Amino acid sequence: MQYTTVLFDLDGTLTESAPGIVNSAAHALEKFGIHVEDKNDLLCFVGPPLIESFQKYYGLDEVQAVQAVSYYREYYSTKGLFENKLIDGIPELLLTLKSAGKQLLVATSKPEFFSEQIISHYGIRPYFTYVAGATMDETRTAKSEVIAYAMEQIPGVAKGNIVMVGDRHHDVDGAIANGLDSIGVTFGYGDRAELADAGATYIVDSVAELQNLLLQNSWDLSIVKHMETKL
C-alpha cells in the first residue's frame, strides 16, 4: 500500500508548540484563582480540545471551561501564537513528500484561524492543499470532526490512500473513527504506549523514519506495526 494523501496534526507533529500553549493555559487558570507552580503540569493542554482539558484536568464545569478558553485566547492571540517553532527536519520532510507527489493537509484541533497564521509565519503553508482546524465557536473541536472536515476537502480520494500523522491518541482515535490508518510519532508530546494503546497502525520515532515510511511502497519491517505488537 502507498498513501497518496497525508493529514498532519500541528502541535507536536509539525511544531514544538508547548511554550505558547502552556503559558496561555496558565493565564486562563489564574483568572479562576488557580496558580500552577510547575508549568510542566500544563503539558496536558497540548493536543486535546481546550474545553475538554479545562474540565478534565482542572475540574471546571462546561460554562467555566468556555470562559477559560476565552481567557486562554487573550494570551494566545497576542503572545502564545508564536511561542513556537518547527520541529527539526519538518520543512525538509514536507518538501520531499510534496516533490514525490503526495497531497498534504493539516488536520488540527487548534482553531483554523490560528493554524493558518502559524504555518504561514514559519513558511510551510505552500506545501499544504488545505488547513483543516477547529472552529472558534467550538462547533468543530473533536479530532474526528476535524479529520472528517479535512476529508470533505479532498473528495474522490479513497480512504485507503489517506493516512493521519499525529503525536497523541486523539489523532489515532480520530483516524479510526473515520476509517483511516494512522502513524503515531513519538517525537511530539505523546509516547509509544499512548499511541500503541490507541491502536496506531504504525509508530515511528523520528522525522527520518516517518519520511521513509511514507515514501516506501512496501513497509520496512524494522518499523513496528501496532497490530503486530498485539499478537
Core vs surface per residue 200-210: b (16+ CB within 10 A) or e: bbbbbeebebb
Tell me whether residue 68 is exposed, middle or buried, using C-beta atoms within 10 angstroms of its C-beta: 0 to 12, 13 to 18, 19 or more: buried
Look-up of cell digits 516533490 = 99
Q: Are strands 103-111 and 5-8 parallel, antiparallel or unpaired?
A: parallel
The residue from 9, 11, 171, 181 that is catalytic is 9
CA distances for 143 relative to 91, 109, 176, 196, 216, angstroms: 24, 6, 11, 18, 27
Tell me whether residue 221 is exposed, middle or buried, using C-beta atoms within 10 angstroms of its C-beta: 0 to 12, 13 to 18, 19 or more: exposed
Helix (H) or strand (E) holding 203: strand 202-204
Answer yes or no: 9 catalytic. Answer: yes
Helix (H) or strand (E) holding 222: none
State the CB neighbour count (10 A cutoff) for residue 215: 14
Three cell numbers written together for 231: 499478537
State the CB neighbour count (10 A cutoff) for residue 25: 29
Residues identified as active-site: 9
